[in-house]
Amino acid sequence: MSDQAEIHRMAQNEDSAVRRGAAEALGAAFSHVPDKTLAWQDLHRLTADEHSYVQMYAFHSLGRACIFKATETVDKNSPSERFRIWPGRSVR
C-alpha cells in the first residue's frame, strides 16, 4: 500500500485522532503526494469533521497546500522568484 493510500485510509478512520494525524500528514506531504486531487478532497472532507481539532488541522493543511500550489505557478522570471532564491539571505 502506498503512503498516500495509507493516509487516505487514515482520513476515513473512526478515530478522530487518526483523522487529525491524516490531516497533518497531508499538509506536510502535499508537495510529494502523487494524487493531489485526492489529497485535496481528503482535506476538504476533513474540514467538515465533527471534531473541531480535526477541522483545525485540515484548514491549516489546506493553507500549506495553497502555498505550494501558488509557488508552482510563480513565473521563474518574476521579482518574487528572484527574491526567493537570493543566496546568503534568510528570512527571520
Q: What is the pLDDT of residues 1-44, one digit of tens each?
A: 679 999 999 999 999 999 999 999 999 999 999 999 999 999 99
pLDDT > 90? residue 87: no
CATH architecture of 3-84: Alpha Horseshoe (1.25)
* pTM attached to this predicted model: 0.75
- Write out the DSSP string of 29-83: HGGG-S-HHHHHHHHHHHTT-SSHHHHHHHHHHHHHHHHHHHHHT--TTSHHHHH
- For the chain, domain boundaries: 3-84
Could you tell me the end-to-end alpha-carbon distance of the chain, in angstroms, rounded to an integer? Answer: 40
pLDDT > 70? residue 83: no
